[in-house]
Structure 1
Amino acid sequence: MRSLFAAVLLTLPLTAMCADRITGKPFATRSEVYAPHAIAATSHPLATQIALDVMKQGGSAVDAAIAANAALGLMEPTGNGVGGDLFAIVWDPKSKKLYGYNGSGRSPKSLSLAEFQRRSLTEIPPHGPLPVTVPGAVDAWFALHGRFGRKPIADDLAPAIRYAREGHPVHEVIAYYWDRSVPTLSKWPGFTEQFTVAGDGDGKRRGPRTGEMWKNPNLANTLEKIAQGGRDAFYKGDIARTIDAYFKANGGFLSYEDMAAHTGEWVEPVSTNYRGYDVWELPPNGQGIAALQILNLLEPYDLKKYGFGSPEHVHLFTEAKKLAFADRAASYADPDFYRTPVAKLVSKEYARERGKLISMDRAAKAVEPGVIPQLNEGDTIYMTVADADGMMVSLIQSNYRGMGSGMAPPGLGFIFQDRGEQFVLKEGHPNSFAPGKRPFHTIIPAFVTKSGQPWLSFGVMGGAMQPQGHAQILMNLIDFGMNLQEAGDAPRIQHDGSTEPDGQAKAMSDGGELDLESGYPYETVRALMRKGHSVRFADGPYGGYQAIMVNPNGGYVGASESRKDGQAAGY
């Protein structure tokens, strides 16, 4: 049988090595999910069921998204929570428009660049009080709910509160990342007490294991206060005062005044057209337009002819990513402090000019940004929900690096994000640290329309992988003809080593590293190495995907990430 299988492989085209060994079709771990009325795709099955329950009870897709996100903060604290930020894109069937919300928080006003310099820091540390910024998720819930919600927000938060009090069994991938976070974060006040359990008789605390019940009564109390008192209960009430006292006692700078001053903002999504499909992202301080830049650079090439998994496919994607990320490092920042030239960066003319730098034969070792900044006087969960009325929500929320900063105020049941780590400690850079400024942000929701109608709500969580993942999903769907589940299950590409938005100290000079997930043929790997790519194997950095597509026959199609604990389901 083994020799027969080998003989069959030798008769298949190169790209079929990435396909199902029986049918020759692109590989998928499971079928797409079809539903006639509504659908939800999240990274946790219980959160998906919560979203469906809310919609069955008359809630909109936004109500369902808020309910599921609140539950994920309890069930998947390794990726998100009320201590983090939130971005969303909503398709409103009444106005037939997309609405974007930037729910990112700002740096403490009492912390300055001079303070970091006084401490002889050249980078903001990843944990502890210094990278903490104001959490924007709760404000975003209420902003989204105020415009698109149908049920009382107390009803939306009720399922998460119930699970926090009664408990739920921890899922496998979440347990793995939770256990990895405990040794690093246990040094910070409040983490051990609120996010670990008693060990196995050795006196050590640990994260909950797969299948163990987890309760968080402190978070239940926090969510109840928010449900009863609204957003101000979080930003201006006892919760904010507890936060203020906690950071004052532990060498931090986040204050009551910082919390009380917070507000997110509605923003206009930005788009480019890729082979007849309008792809929408949010503008900086997020990195979404990098996906648009990558797609613009790839559009002149006949990727369908080259085929999925071919050397040309991987090489062209990688070189386009390098060019887009050079601009990402140089000029994506808080628009209140620096006006990123978004229109130019996502234009076809700019892509044509930059595309001249791509060689089909050689991998670029170093790439300069195409726009030089001119200064004027910014781990994760992704989820998407669609309701019976046609409303669709693309939502992403994060604490940033895994479980965040480790800073967990007593009695509140959540951990603060460490998003401020993304600031640059260098004067004159668009993303330089300043008081009251939003950092460069990695979390990005995405949406696609076709002929003015909704087609796809999707996202790929995972740091710098996100715009790379967005572009790859669309290539898989549009260029390679995969279905929604196949597009997410297909082996992914991640290029690492581009110049980062934290300044030129880490400028790419060696071409970076190309990670290929299992499934790419060795012939492709060898061809890439001949072009000068440094190819390596990495297990895990390829992000997490959820998606909902409008079914042209009625209802929706859903898909969920096979690399996570997630589920797509509908009714």
Structure 2
Amino acid sequence: MVVSPHALASEAGARILAAGGNAFDAAVAVSACLGVVYPHMTGMGGDSFWLVYHAGEGQVRAYNASGRSGRLVHRGLYAGEPHIPFRGIRSAITVPGMVDGWAAIHRAYGRLPFGEVLSPAIRYAEQGFPVSAGQAAFTREAASALAQDARAASVYLPNGCAPEAGSRFVQPALARSLKRVAEGGREAFYKGEIARDIADFMRREGGYLTRDDFADHAGRWETPLFGRYREYTVAQVPPNSQGFAGLMILNMLDRFHLQSIEHGSADYYHLLIEAVKLAFRDRDRYLTDPDFSPIPLDRLLSRPYAAELAGRIRMDRAREADAAPMGRDTAYAAVADAEGNAVSFIQSLYFEFGSAVAAGDTGILLQNRGSFFSLDPDHVNRLEPGKRTFHTLMPAMALLDGRPAILYGTQGGEGQPQTQTAVLTRIADYGMHPQEAVSAPRWLWGRTWGEPRRDLRIEARVGRDVMDDLRRRGHPVQPAADYDGCMGHAHAIVIRDGWCEGGVDPRSDGQVAGI
């Protein structure tokens, strides 16, 4: 089974499975395809994080495919500015890790030839595909940013405006770059023509990444972080991912008997939101590249600390808290095959269309992930050369008896730990089908980029009584549309008794594809 936020990507993964590929082949195919058919959310110029389970090895491994800031990038380049720009060439300061992630997963576990795995993405880039409703809407929102870069505008704003849903969308330059990678592997991207073309473009346009930055890039296999929730063992990617915040939330909730709390009640939403706030406080205090600053994970993920935090939750009153604004463009997907292999992965450009800069003639949109670095020299996530920034991306995997049972994750920056918690509790505590779990009403506490407010947005279909109750407890409730895209695009696969059950978010353009 494959779940992803775009139907064509899900179908591409299913075709790879049907052709004899395994979950790892299919996951790379889905990832590459999403970078073509979901260009507002992800692409070759972004980052990714992976959790993989190989049935023969019997263990979960994590791969961190996030990029570091360039060796010439430092805070002095932005002297006198309040923050790193969110758009434009000066926001593209971290090396894209995406292609390295494809290569690492495929090299370790793939079965089919690399070129065959990338062929669906190449075909959609070269021959085109119908623009989804989501792509059309997000392009309209980002049109002013895309218009600032002539190459980006020529592709994403054909005829000077956002393409209509259903119109054919082609990306010939991106197809050429994908073909180079299909033929030359990761070396073509990091040490070959693509690296040269991007670096030359950077130099001409006043950017900061160099050919040496690309040549030096390497992702990393890492040991996942593990936590317990009910009978499940839950795996998350370690920092610089915010995954540990998700485990902290579960550690707190594991001390409450959720089955005695009505799902969808004000008590349910209040409890989960309060746990999120407490976890975010520590996340914002510590999260950065652990190579530059230690993160006390042993304490943060300990049961005694969870008990201490849980004891601070008042069921009658919301606590004051704050959170920095986050980007929301991301694509989560998962694959499970008949051999027992499983992949849970997530990828992003950070903001919609990333930096909104297309790198020369490569057709590759560059991420603006590095714009989340702080220019404050005392901030734990301060900008420094060769550093990975605080990353919102966090794929999840829950295991029973050492084998994958739930693959889940979501698009949506600040909302990722919140929505993951909703999905897992709905499946684990309330016995919901994964489709029911991702479709049920959701909330988003905090801020997203471009919005100064710190509200609790909650889909209005929770009902007026629930919203009024939450307001009485001190939550700054703002009703959202019934299936509001600001809640992110969550997907899940539940594996049990030799069967897969999937759920794909109705807020996305996605699809469940099984064979």
Q: Output the TM-score relative to the length of structure 1.
A: 0.86
- Which residue of the other structure, out of 129, 132, 142, is the alignment partner of 2:89? 129
The answer to whether the 8 Å contact 1:323/1:367 transfers is no
CA shift, 1:179, in A, is: 2.2
Alignment gaps of 5+ in structure 1: 1-38, 199-204, 369-378, 501-505
2:127 aligned residue: 166
From 348, 370, 390, the equivalent of 1:398 is: 348
Residue 48 of structure 1 aligns with an amino acid whose one-letter code is S
- The within-5 A match list for 1:156-555 is 156-198=117-159, 205-366=160-321, 379-497=329-447, 512-538=454-480, 539-552=484-497, 554-555=498-499
Residue 106 (structure 1) aligned with residue 68 (structure 2): yes
CA distance in 1 between counterparts of 2:150 and 2:298 reads: 45
- Aligned to 1:537, the other structure's residue is in SS state strand
Identity %: 39
**Deviation, structure 1 residue 497:** 4.9
Tell me, in whole angstroms, the C-alpha distance in 1 between the residues paired with 2:298 and 2:238.
Answer: 10
State the shift of 1:189 in Å: 4.3
Shift of 1:141: 0.5
What amino acid is aligned across from residue 40 of structure 1 in structure 2? V
SS of equivalent to 1:286: coil
Tell me how large the CA RMSD over aligned residues is.
Answer: 1.6
What is the rounded CA distance, in whole Å, between the counterparts of 1:367 and 1:464 in structure 2?
12
C-alpha contact 1:138 1:234 (8 A) present in aligned 2: yes
- Tell me, what secondary structure is at the counterpart of 1:94? coil
Per the alignment, residue 65 of structure 1 pairs with 27
Query: SS of the residue aligned with 2:335?
Result: strand
CA deviations on 1:182-238 (whole Å, 9 max, x unpaired) are 22221024211232211xxxxxx1222111001111111101111111111111111
> Which ranges of 4 or more aligned residues in structure 1 deviate by more than 4 Å?
none
- Equivalent-residue separation in structure 2 for 1:214 and 1:249 (angstroms): 29
Classify the secondary structure of the residue corresponding to 1:190: helix
Aligned equivalents of 2:267, 2:165: Cα separation in 1: 41
Distance apart, 1:427 and its partner CA: 1.1
Letter in 2 for 1:532: G
What SS does the corresponding residue of 2:462 show, helix, strand or coil? coil
SS in 1 for 2:456: strand
Q: Is 1:151 equivalent to 2:144 in the alignment?
A: no
Please report how far the alpha carbon of residue 367 of structure 1 lies from its aligned counterpart in structure 2 after TM superposition. Answer: 7.5
Using the TM superposition, give the Cα deviation of residue 568 of structure 1 relative to its aligned residue in structure 2, in angstroms. 0.3
SS of residue in 1 equivalent to 2:234: strand
Paired residue for 2:103?
142
Amino acid at match of 2:338: A
In structure 1, what is the Cα distance between the partners aligned to 2:29 and 2:115?
Answer: 10
C-alpha separation in 1, matches of 2:311 and 2:245:
18
Cα distance, 1:296 vs structure 2: 1.2
Q: Tell me how far 1:451 sits from its aligned partner.
A: 2.0
Deviation, 1:315, is 1.2
Give yes or no for contact 2:146–2:156 (8 Å, CA) kept in 1. Answer: no
User: Which digits, 9 at most, give the CA deviation of each residue in 1:269-299, with x for residues without a partner?
Assistant: 1111111111111111111111111111122
Amino acid at match of 2:508: K
Q: 1:556 aligns with which of 471, 485, 500?
A: 500
How far did 1:426 drift? 0.9
SS of equivalent to 2:90? coil
Gaps of 5+ in 2: 324-328
- Conserved in 2, the CA contact under 8 Å of 1:381 and 1:398? yes
Q: Is the 8 A contact 2:43 2:348 kept in 1?
A: yes
Q: Secondary structure at the match of 1:433?
A: coil
Write the distance in 2 (CA, Å) between the matches of 1:432 and 1:261: 21
**Deviation sequence 1:221-273 (CA, Å, 0-9, x none):** 10111111111111111111111111111111011111111000001111111
